Amino acid sequence: MKFISAALMLAMLGCYSWTAEAHGRKAIKPKFDPRFVNEFWNGGGARLPGREFVEAVQAASLTVTDGRGRQRRLVLLSLVSEFALSGSGLWELFLGNLRNITFSRREGSQDHLANHLVARLMTMPNATATHCNRLSNRFGARCVPMASPIFNADNYGYKTSAYYGLSFVKVLTILDALTIGVDAFFLDSDQVFFRNPLPYMLARDIDVLVTGDCGARDDETPSARFPKINSNIGLLYFRSTPMVTRAVNEWLFYLVRKARDRRPVLDQGTFVGAMETISTDVGAQRMSVAMLIPDFFPHRCMSPCGCDTEGLSPGQLGRKLYRTEGSACQPLFVRKWYHFHVPCNGDMNSKATTLQKLLRLYQGVVGPVNSLSDPFDAL
């Protein structure tokens, strides 16, 4: 396969780094110590998933039927820190929202998305996930610790080892799930859902799906390349295939090499290059990628009310949507939303407040959360 460094560096030049909370900050760059990398990658490669993670994923996995009638097993994944559990309410809001996305299983029982979430808790060595599980189990979710001395109980400072370590945890968590043999549906916790996204994902015969900026595109046709527009890796769907697993492993390895060279990079800026290095080499038949339509999967960095690409041709920039005089988003566009992600929205308290407002908006102009969800076959 092609040498990964060149492709990744080219992708990084055209990718926006989603560190909005840090933009404009006149912080002194701390001295970077790459030794934490050994917590994620040993001499032989990525560290294998531990027994606790394997058991949690197996217990949480959901068997579904995709759009071509094939059975798949999937798991929802997320990250949480000790600091995030300490008071903003964002984590409980995220889990409570997933619990409200209910669906019927084939035999008639009721289920919800939070039952199928496994969260990696970033914590110190010898710590347990007891507190995280106490908060999360009542929603149906499970916590598994990811220990490293860099993950203390404070908020992770800009460009500290912990700041970069978040990327390692995210990519390794996805890789661990794929290694176990389940599809990985990764979600940042600063988002809420209004409709069940699984029917949308499963209807697409595509190996890697990601959200992105406001621009017209096709998310149904398998391709070896993403559209030339910024991605947003706060929502990612990976099928568990050999080529996808290889691509995610290469993604992690690139993070490792850059960190060991004391030139650390983030997962956001390297995602597209890592995926396309493999997909363009083997072709879309063996590894396909697509970027989800922004009308359905908006984020706050594009605009307060999402994006409209109706009637536009692929490649054209979409229309960013703003609040009307009544300080509300237009119902015509709100009805399309599957979720809303707020990566560019300040600290966790601010994010929680914004997400609560979006939930109230949706309930006011559309109706109850989950009322527009499509059915799907969950075994």
Backbone Cα Rg of the chain: 20
CA-CA distance, 236 to 142, in Å (whole number)? 19
Q: What is the mean pLDDT of the chain?
A: 91
pLDDT at 216 over 70: yes
pLDDT digits (tens, 9 = 90+) for 23-59: 344 555 667 899 999 999 998 899 999 999 999 999 9
The two three-digit tokens of residue 220, written as one number: 């149904």
Q: Of the given ranges (79-93, 224-238, 354-368), which has the lowest mean pLDDT?
A: 79-93
pTM here is 0.92
Tokens of 134: 């106490």
Structure tokens at 40: 């994620």
**How do residues 132-190 score in pLDDT, each as one tens digit?**
999 999 999 999 999 999 998 888 888 899 999 999 999 999 999 999 999 999 999 99
4-15+34-41+50-365 is a CATH 3.90.550.10 domain: yes
φ and ψ at residue 137, rounded to 5 degrees? -60, -30
Can you give the residue ranges of every domain in the chain?
Answer: 4-15+34-41+50-365
- CB distance 302 to 213 below 8 Å: yes
